Structures are given as C-alpha cells and as structure tokens.
Structure 1
Amino acid sequence: METKKQNIVILGAGESGVGAALLAKFKGYNVFVSDAGKIKDKYKTELDENAIAWEEGGHSMEKVLSADEIIKSPGIPNSSALIKEIRKVGLRPICDIEFAARYTTAKLIAITGSNGKTTTTYLVHHVLKGGGLLAEMAGNVGVSFARSIIKDEADYYVLELSSFQLEDMYEFKADIAVLLNITPDHLDRYNESISEYGKAKMRIIQNQTAADVFIYNADDKEIEKQLKTHKINAKTLPFSLKDESVEGGFYRDEDQTITIKNKLTMSIHDLALKGKHNVQNSLVAGISGRLVELRKDNIRESLADFTNVEHRLEFVAKVNGIEFINDSKATNINATWYALESMHNPTVWIVGGVDKGNDYEELIPLVQEKVKAIVCLGKNNSKIIDAFSGIVDTIIETQSPVEAVGYGYQFAKKDETVLLSPACASFDLFENYEDRGQQFKNAVRSL
C-alpha cells in the first residue's frame, strides 16, 4: 500500500492540470494549483466549486517546493528554470497521465507519433465502441485522462500521448502501445535532434512486459533506428505499406487491400478515410480491434463508417463545384505532405503561420504535381515564397481567413479544391489551430 502523499502541487491549469487537481482532491490529497499565466474562467469556477486553492500570474515557489509531489503541464519544458529549481530539491515532476494511471485497472491503449495520432486515437476508439466495448478516449484529445478516472467506468482507455507527456512518465505501462511515425516536429524542445525527440517517443514502450503488445510502423526510418537501441519486451506487431511479411497488418498495392492480423482483408475503397497515411491509421485500428478479440465484421463496419476528426482533412462545403477542405491541424511539413498526397483535383493551397523550422524541400514534387496557386496566411511568409516561387506561378499573401478564402474561391474552378493545410503553428494570427480552422469554416460558409 503506497503511503499517502499529502500535498500535491499542480503546475498549469489547462484541461490536464484541472483534471489532475479534481482527481487528486477526489483521492483525498491536499491540492494547490499554480499557473504562470491567466486561468480560464470556467476552470477557476471548477476549482472554486471543489474547494481547490489556486493562483495565477506566477508561482509561489515556497509553496511549490514544499509539495510531496508535483504534476506539471506538458507545455512546461524540463529545461525551464522553474523545473530546474524543483529538481534541485529532489522532486521529479510527473504528468497527469502518469498520476491518473495509478487509479485504474482498465486496459490502456497508448498512441503516439508525430502525425496522425489524433485521427488514430478516434479511429481505435470508434472500432472498440463499434465492437460493443466500454471504451473512453483521453489524453491529448477531449477530456483529460485524470478527469475520466474520477468515475473510472471504462474497460479500455484509448490515450493520445505527445512526446511532452511521455517525457514526464516513469511508471506508466501501456497494455497496447502504438508508435505511428517519428518525423521532425517540436525539435526546438530537443536540441534540434530528431534522435532525442525519437527517444522521447520510444518511452511509450517503457515498463511493457511479454504480456503486452507494441504496434509500430515498419516503414519509418527513424523508428527503425530507435529499435536498434531499445530493448523491446512486448510482443511486436509491425504494420507496413510495403512489406507483406510483417505480422501486424499490411497493404497490398496490386489489389488495393489491407490484411490485418489473422487475415481480416478489406478493400481500401471501403475505408472511410482516404489517403495512404489513413491506410496506416486503419491498419492500427484493425490490429487493435483484433487484439481485443472483436469480430472481423464489427471491425470492417467501423473502419467503413468512421467520420473524420474536426480540422483534420475535414470536408467543409462545396461552393459552385469548388471543394473546401479544412486541415488546420496540419502544423508541420509531414502532416501537410499527407494532405497534399491525398488531393485528387488541382488544388489552391492555403499555407503559413509560425514556422517550426520547416524545410519545404520535400513538398516540392507534390506541389508541382497538384498545386495551381498558393495563398499565404501568416505574418511572415518569406520562407514559403522563397521555396515555391518558380514552381507555382500564383503566390499571394493574406492576413485573414476571409481574405484567404476569397482568393481561394477566385483562383479555383469547378471540380477543383481549396485546401487549408498550414504546415505551421497558428499563434501569429489565431488562438490555436481549432480557432484557425473554425474561422476558415466560417469564411467558407459566408461565401
């Protein structure tokens, strides 16, 4: 029996911090929440209603350092002065996922990767629910895991995990761990090293035993490198779009089918989600469904009737035969590569925002093949203009979604597509990628 840690301090009062505070309070701890910024009103109300003490606009260090345990927001880097000071006194902050996992005996399916993890989390959850299982979705999507654990009514939790969350997880163990890909993203947090970033992603397999399963992308070069330096205790079920000998699931190009563990075969034309990357996501969901012993028919049905996540290749409307697609969630080059790869009509591409060290080189072949005009939507577009002038004749700069959508409508013809897939973060003009996507949709609907 663990000895009760009396005082818990939570750094950051977003959804994950407040969820952790509510769970800690529910479990009988003394809880204090501290946020360097402003706390949203709805969270203040919730903390007050549950008699949880909080502060905003800075940290009372004396109070923070007297904690028995600290739960921190994934947004606070471990290299920050705050965390260094905390570590000096021998405390090791954890994330809300680590804390919440202590209080459930449900099976945990944990999903990470640079791209596609939200869609895959939704899809795996949809397959489990479609098979009649009591499953909830948490982590980086929707409700925080800690908040879900207060009631703890699910038999399965499907958790989307970022590398930032994984960094602060030590005892957590996934029954099924999924690693989709490792591509350059957030490298500013990892000394510009993809290998360091990859190591954070590989923490998804820590504490796994032979009774657990690791599903990973056998085609990913960075994963391949990481596998050489990590001992894998779990049973491995790789998936591939190229190699039909893998044990998890594969795609056969000649007849456009996927085959999942124990021979569940399905035409990719029956999959709800289009594009090569979504074939990978569907393979993961199918393998997960087979692992929890769902019937093949149930899995087929769920993979065929899934509707996509908001802001991820989301169909918005057709206006005079021009299709508008919102892929605001594409905040890095790789995600945008997938979006462009799945376009079948000439495309007006809306791109730009806060550049995270992007190298646009790898998009050039796709842009040559598919893009007829580029509409920049950001404060500083020079890098995009340098990369694509000479490749695309029409490149225009805009400062608002209304303006960007207006140009898109002007440049596109009937049976063509206007695609918002920014390849950048949104913080120059928007609150977050959801705000950007919502404003784009509003602008399309007002055409």
Structure 2
Amino acid sequence: MTLPAPAVTPAPAGQARAVVTGIGVVAPSGIGVEAHWRTVTAGVRRTGPITLFDPTGYPTRVGGEVPGFHPAAYVDTRQLVQTDRWTQLGFAATALALADAGLPARAPDPYAWAVTLASSSGGNLFGQRELQRLWGGPSRTVGAYQSIAWFYAASVGQLSIHHQFKGPSGVLVAEAAGGLDSLAHAVRTIRRGTSVVVAGATECPLSPYALACQLRSGLLSAVDEPAAAYRPFDRAAGGYVPAEGGAVFVVEERGHALARGARIYGEVTGWAATHDAVHTGPDTAGDPATYARAMRLALARAGSTPDEVDLVVPDALGVPRYDRSEATALRAVFGDRPPPVSTHKSLTGRAHQGGSALDVATALLAFHHDTLPASAGPVDPAPGCELGFLRAPRRPEHRVALVCARGFDGFNSALVLRGAAPTPRNATD
C-alpha cells in the first residue's frame, strides 16, 4: 500500500544526506528494475535493427530500442498528443520509480518535492514529424504542441505538472555526463531543504534528423551485425550504437526516508564535474587528466579512497581513441591496482544522458543484490585498455561504486555511490 510521505523537519542546510529509494528503468534492457537486472546478469544483447524509422541508406542501422513500450500505459490521451517519445519514456520511468519507492503519484507537499532531469537533444521524433508536415504537406503548418514538445526542458515541465512537483526544479545539459549531473544537483537540492527530488534521464535519439546529427561526429558504428556493432575497450571497437531510454530515481532526504520506513538502495556520497574546453571532433579523444581530476574530486568529496572502490562503471564510448583515453584516466586514479570495471552498454547501446543514468541503476542494483555483475566485454582488450574487467560475478567488499561519464564537447562527470546493506539472503539461496 502506498502511503503519503509524513512531514519531517529537514536537516540543517549542508548536512542532509541524500539516499536513493526508488529506481525506474525504461531501457533496451527492459521495463522495470527486474528486467534490467536480468539482462545485465545474463549478458543478453538487446540491440538490433532500428525500427522506429526506416534507416535504409544510413551507414548506422543498429540501435537500442525499449521492447514492448506502449506509451498509453503511462501517459493519458491529452499528454500523448503533447509529448515526444523521449518525454513519454520519462513519464514511464518516473511512475516506476515512485511506485518502487512506495510514494504516491502526486506530491502530498508539492513545494517539498522537485524534479531535476538531464536532457540534450529533446523531442526528435515529434519535431521530425511536424517539420515533415510543414515542408512536405499541403497545409504548410505544424501542430500547436511543436512549440513545447521538442524543447529540451519538456520532460521536466510535463512531469512537474503531472506529479505536482513544485519545488526547485531544473534541467542539466551536458550530453552523457548530464545523467550523473542530475543526481549531483538532486543532492544539492536535498541539502537546501527539499525532501524528495526525482532525478535521472531518458533519451530518444532515433529519428532521421537525430541520427544524421550523430553521424556528423564520426563516432557511430557502421557495423550491421548487432553482436559486433558496439564493443567498448575491444580491439574490434569501431564506434557506438545509439539507444533510447534510461533511468529515473527518487532521491530522498535520509531522515524523510527513514521516517516512512522506506527501503534504501544507497547514498550519493560524492560527485564532481570538469571540462576539457575542447570541441568533439574527428581527432579529439578527451583529456584524460581532466577526466581523472573529476574522479579524484568525487572520491575525495565522498571521503572514499580508490582502494575502497568495488566497482567502476565507465563511459565506454566504444571509439578506440576515447577508450584508451578513459583507460589512461582510470589508471591515473587507481595506480597499480587495476580498477574493477564492469560495463554493459554493449548490451543496450548508448542512450546519451539516459545511458549514464542507467549505469547508476546498475551500480545500485548490484549492491541491492549483493552481486557485482560481470562485464559484457571486452572479449579482446585493445592495447592501452587493459583494465580489471570483471569476468565473473562477485560480492562487493566496501559497497562503493564510481560511475563515470563524458559528454561531447568536453564534459566529464563522476559520481560515488555507497550501497546500503544487502537484503538478507534466504537460507536456500
């Protein structure tokens, strides 16, 4: 039974602790945390031919799509005509996260609840349809909702209205790094006195226009075989596979969560963001020193050392020079101790800011299940990418994870999570 959150006096500013009490996953790995965890632990590849539009004629024709997603199950008719699929995925992930946290669908104290999501490309499919109607049809018009559905802040706006989140809300724009930045901003909001913040990200970059924009970077994979198309850190790496979806979280002030008896997945203990100040181009690879600085700052702010990190979930772009750069940054932070790395983006594709949010979900679920999942590759690490990839599941020791992400044009972010105590195992387990 879902109960309204009781009133709790917030901790003094700067001293509140932010915990994650709900996770909503809507991704190629499946809908819901159970489906996602099964995909991760089984190592099942969920990418395949793009079906949201006809990709014939494009060099990239493989993507990651959410299986069996029916927007009408999460969005009413009025909202359906106003929103892009990216926002509809956000509606679904938010509904799942609130239910997972045992919170009501409408905020009982609207000004104590907020929403902060990451975004980047906005409502691609909606905008594509409307612009095609403008230039390809006799009416030469667009629908009234074109003015809002494509906008990068549309998901936050729609969710704040629907769920009555009237606290300090916002949008973070840092491409893939934004999924981590949204959680960092949620912690800051909690420390300023807000009780509940919905954070995370979804994305839907699968439209002709969106794919053409991504192709200009030269970073997309042109391999048609899904099993070989996206292979981060591998000798055979040749670019990333685009994907939709992501994850949304309920981030809650710890006292508020404990007062209502909530189940806690873990705590966000540290974060940091740096910037390379370099445009992403055909010859760039990211600055490993600047990236490593973000990791070190996040660990220092969390009060954690590299030796305590049980799990590193990397950006894993799948472009050889970027993979080597990321491996260099990790070695600079972890020194002689190989960082315990596990990545699953090859199973789902790269969903930009939604992908880094999904990595956070994986880390929190690993602690919840008391199992660090084996990495989905590489099969044959490329020179310079020899890291401590987890080849078999194992139990965490310190319950600390470092999640890393890089956004195009120089964004670097790192987030430290400390997992809650594991759920007691059954005697027959």
Please report the TM-score for the alignment, with normalisation by the length of structure 1. Answer: 0.25
Query: Normalising by structure 2, what TM-score?
Result: 0.25
User: RCO higher in 1 or 2 (8 Å CA, sep ≥ 6)?
Assistant: 2
Larger Rg: 1
